[in-house]
């Protein structure tokens, strides 16, 4: 049975897509079968993975028009169910009873085919994020290493409360991952302390691994490659490898 991770933080630019892409690529390189799901209308994950957004997409899967298995495209890092701009209207399309369970139900027939399913979410707490939180086993919260980004995390925890109560009682938070982190700056260390406190309040942990700021991230995205193929030896890629090892309990 696969493990399903939702990468979320309602704050924009927290590193959700970058983290989702890197985790999918890193796990795939380790030999695991991985499915990525892009629920963000901006479709950055879909674009970087080199997938097409004009055929069967996540919106069709969520409305029940398309089976999840029929929406999967092959990428260098396993499979992806792509996003499309139309996902921006999801809150208006997905309104019927049981709307929170659409993704969970759609994934049931294919879950067994994957070791890991990685869901990238939009920077909002609407029906798409609720579907992701309902369908997953646990949540990874990337947070840009600054004070304002961290403050949003407590709001996310509030959103998770009703999800845990009504649609996914076993939902856990895997941890908070600091992104665009500069280990040498005093400010970053202060941010790490605050992140540690917030993690404690939420009953989760701050990952020991941190992801540094690096131009390779943007370059890889522009060239539609994963960090692992664009810059396999870059320090930021090593950061993600350290994070994945920690996530898998390998260190």
Ligand X SMILES: Nc1ncnc2c1ncn2[C@@H]1O[C@H](COP(=O)(O)OP(=O)(O)OP(=O)(O)O)[C@@H](O)[C@H]1O
* DSSP at 110: T
Q: How far is the CB of 169 from ligand X (least distance, A)?
A: 27
Residue 129 binds ligand X, judged by CB under 6 A = no
- Site for ligand X (CB under 6 A): which residue of 2, 3, 6, 18? 18
Q: Which of residues 60-119 bind ligand X (CB under 6 A)?
A: none
- Site for ligand X (CB under 6 A): which residue of 69, 123, 126, 152? 123
Q: How far is the CB of 144 from ligand X (least distance, A)?
A: 8
Cα–Cα distance for residue pair 139/6, rounded to 1 Å: 5
Least Cα distance to 38 among 49, 46, 29, 30 occurs for 46
- Site for ligand X (CB under 6 A): which residue of 4, 14, 41, 94? 14
Residue 218 binds ligand X, judged by CB under 6 A = yes
Q: Which of residues 27-56 bind ligand X (CB under 6 A)?
A: 40, 42, 44
Which residue, 51 or 110, is less far from ligand X as judged by CB? 51
Torsional class of 240: left (φ above 0), alpha (ψ -120 to 50), beta (otherwise): alpha
3-state secondary structure of 232: coil
How far, CA to CA in Å, does 105 sit from each of 35, 108, 150, 159, 171? 16, 5, 32, 21, 16
Which residue, 43 or 168, is less far from ligand X as judged by CB? 43
3-state secondary structure of 213: coil
Strand pairing partners for 35? 79, 117
What is the dihedral angle through the alpha carbons of 64, 69, 71, 74, rounded to the nearest 10 degrees? 170
Q: How far is the CB of 156 from ligand X (least distance, A)?
A: 12
- Site for ligand X (CB under 6 A): which residue of 2, 43, 179, 204? 179
* DSSP at 57: -
Taking CB under 6 A as the binding criterion, the range among 12-20, 27-35, 53-61, 84-92 that sits at the site for ligand X is 12-20
- What b/e sequence results for 43-79 when a residue is b if at least 16 CB atoms lie within 10 Å of its CB, and e otherwise? bbbbbbbebebeebbbbbbbeeebebeebbbebebbb
Applying CB under 6 A, the site for ligand X has a residue count of 20
- Site for ligand X (CB under 6 A): which residue of 154, 193, 213, 223? 213
Which residue, 24 or 211, is less far from ligand X as judged by CB? 211
Residue 23 binds ligand X, judged by CB under 6 A = no
- Site for ligand X (CB under 6 A): which residue of 236, 237, 240, 243? 236
Residue 183 binds ligand X, judged by CB under 6 A = no
Interacting residue ranges for ligand X, rule: CB under 6 A: 12-18, 40, 42, 44, 123, 179-180, 211, 213-214, 217-218, 221, 236
């Amino acid at each position: 049975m696969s493990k399903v991770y939702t990468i979320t933080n309602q704050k924009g630019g927290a590193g959700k897509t970058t983290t989702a892409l890197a985790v999918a690529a890193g796990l795939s390189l380790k030999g695991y079968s991985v499915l990525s799901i892009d629920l963000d209308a901006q479709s950055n994950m879909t674009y970087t993975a080199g997938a097409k957004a004009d055929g069967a997409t996540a919106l069709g899967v969520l409305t029940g028009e398309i089976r999840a298995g029929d929406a999967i495209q092959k990428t260098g890092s396993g499979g992806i169910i792509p996003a499309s701009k139309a996902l921006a209207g999801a809150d208006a399309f997905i309104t019927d009873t049981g709307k929170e369970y659409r993704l969970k139900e759609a994934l049931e027939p294919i879950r067994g085919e994957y070791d890991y399913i990685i869901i990238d979410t939009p920077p909002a707490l609407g029906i798409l994020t609720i579907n992701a939180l309902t369908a997953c086993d646990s949540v990874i919260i990337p947070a840009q290493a600054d004070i304002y980004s961290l403050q949003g995390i407590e709001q996310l925890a509030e959103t998770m409360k009703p999800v845990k109560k009504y649609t996914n009682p076993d939902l856990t938070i895997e941890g908070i991952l600091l992104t665009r982190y500069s280990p040498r700056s005093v400010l970053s260390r202060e941010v790490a302390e605050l992140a540690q406190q917030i993690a404690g309040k939420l009953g989760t942990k701050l990952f020991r691994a941190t992801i540094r700021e690096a131009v390779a991230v943007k370059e890889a995205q522009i060239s539609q490659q994963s960090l692992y193929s664009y810059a396999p030896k870059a320090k930021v890629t090593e950061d993600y490898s350290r994070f994945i090892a920690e996530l898998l309990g390998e260190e």
